[in-house]
Amino acid sequence: MTQARRPMTVSDTAIWVAMYRAMESERPDALFHDPYARRLAGEEGEAMIRRVPRARQYAGPMIVRTAAMDELIQELIERDAVDLVVNLAAGLDARPYRMKLPPALQWVEADYPHMIEKKSAALAGETPHCRLERIGVDLADRAARRALLERVGAMGTKGLVISEGLLVYLSSDQVAELAQDLAAQPTFRFWITDIAAPLVLKIMKRTWSRQFGADTTTFQFAPKEGAGFFAPYGWQLDRYSSIFLDLSRYQREPNTMWIWRLFYPRWARQEVDRRTGPMTGTLLLSR
């Protein structure tokens, strides 16, 4: 009898995205080079790409999100003298190893303990380009998260927080609590995160929830007010990078892009100069 395939978990998406980074790194026109991605994704990453329907077609948004965040991180470190980076739900991200970073920069990665162990084992013997510390913690535990943020906030003078691929899995109340907890630490001046619009969330639920061992509540956060959601907690929009415009800018548009242009032309045009309302892409928040 054939054994039933195990549904994907949210933690599995770190493996999936690492595989996308490996695929991009091996292109002759790669937007970035992550020599560790294939090792981190492993055979499981290969298997995911094979078994998930149309998985390769969905690589573009993940790739351009990584590229857009890379640009912002490098800019903030060089222009604004950021000396502390805190990557929440870091997954299998290898930026401390692959990016050009100051040796004195303090980088902190926080994720589930099992993810931290997996990553540390895979990268054993490799040397990061900056000071790196990994911390195993359940970020959904608010008391543990607050203790973590208070401790790491003291590691620098001007901090940047990254939450790539995290917020969409949280409720609005949970995101509000996270925004409050980050604002409570004076060191954290910048926050890079990604955001989805309600329409995109609806499509994600219909397309991807069947791959997870959960119902459509797996994907939750998509505020209709976009970056305005964060304003009451002290975070203002510094820059918005639309995923749809980035797909074109980085020349990674999927074959299905015509659907958006055909069925949502007005919404797509609004993405050119959006400052409020529904957003899908990368946010740079500051305070």
Instruction: For residues 226-251, give the mean pLDDT.
Output: 93
Residues 188-206, mean pLDDT to the nearest whole number: 91
DSSP one-letter code for 189: E
DSSP H/E element including 25: helix 12-25
- Higher pLDDT pick, 206 / 256: 206
Predicted local distance difference test score (pLDDT) of residue 114: 94
- Which bin fits 19, alpha (ψ -120 to 50), beta or left (φ > 0)? alpha
The C-alpha atoms of residue 67 and residue 192 are separated, in whole angstroms, by 13
More confident: 271 or 133:
133
Residue 221 scores a pLDDT above 90: yes
Q: From the CB of residue 211, how many other CB atoms can be counted at a distance below 10 Å?
A: 18
Average pLDDT over residues 46-72: 87
Among residues of the chain, what percentage have pLDDT more than 70?
A: 85
- Average pLDDT on 143-169 reads 97
Tell me the per-residue pLDDT of 124-138, one tens digit each, with 9 for 90 and over: 999 999 999 999 999
Distance separating alpha carbons of residues 43 and 254, to the nearest angstrom: 25
Mean pLDDT of 136-160: 97
Q: What's the predicted TM-score (pTM) here?
A: 0.91
